[in-house]
Amino acid sequence: MQVKRIMAIIAAEDVTAAERFYKDILDLDVLMDHGWIRTYGSSRTMSVQVSFASEGGSGTPVPDLSIEVDDLDAALQRMKEAGVAIEYGPANEPWGVRRFFVRDPFGRLVNILMHS
């Protein structure tokens, strides 16, 4: 047996509220929309990971999601232009990532990162 995919599913009263954050700011595609569930993603091949943490590192809370990007400065600029509050960072972390934290429209803490 081989795991083919891991999906994060976030409870939301209004699934359309995700569009601005995940589609417009982070450039994810709408992969599925049944009205009651909307899935955002990319056709790019990505590694599958599940992490379990007692803290978020550097004394931060554990984020609900981590999203790795190829240009952290561009992601940070897009968040600022969209009026999304930056809750932590940007910070260069001792384990080799540069990152910042924001909250998505559902209040989930999202770690946006890029490997150094």
58-76: buried (b, 16+ CB within 10 Å) or exposed (e) per residue? eebeebeebbbbeebeebb
Averaged pLDDT, 45-54:
89
Model pTM? 0.92
Q: Is 112 exposed, middle or buried (0-12, 13-18, 19+ CB in 10 A)?
A: buried
Given a cut of 90, whether residue 43 has pLDDT beyond it is no
Predicted local confidence at residue 60, as pLDDT = 98
In a domain, 7, yes or no: no
**Per the domain annotation, does 1 fall within a domain?**
no
Domain that holds residue 19: 15-44+55-115
pLDDT digits (tens, 9 = 90+) for 68-88: 999 999 999 999 999 999 999
**What is the domain-level CATH number for residue 62?**
3.10.180.10
- What pLDDT was estimated at residue 5? 80
The confidence score (pLDDT) of residue 46 equals 81
Asked whether residue 19 is domain-assigned, the answer is yes
Higher pLDDT, 67 or 5: 67
- The three-class DSSP label of residue 111 is strand
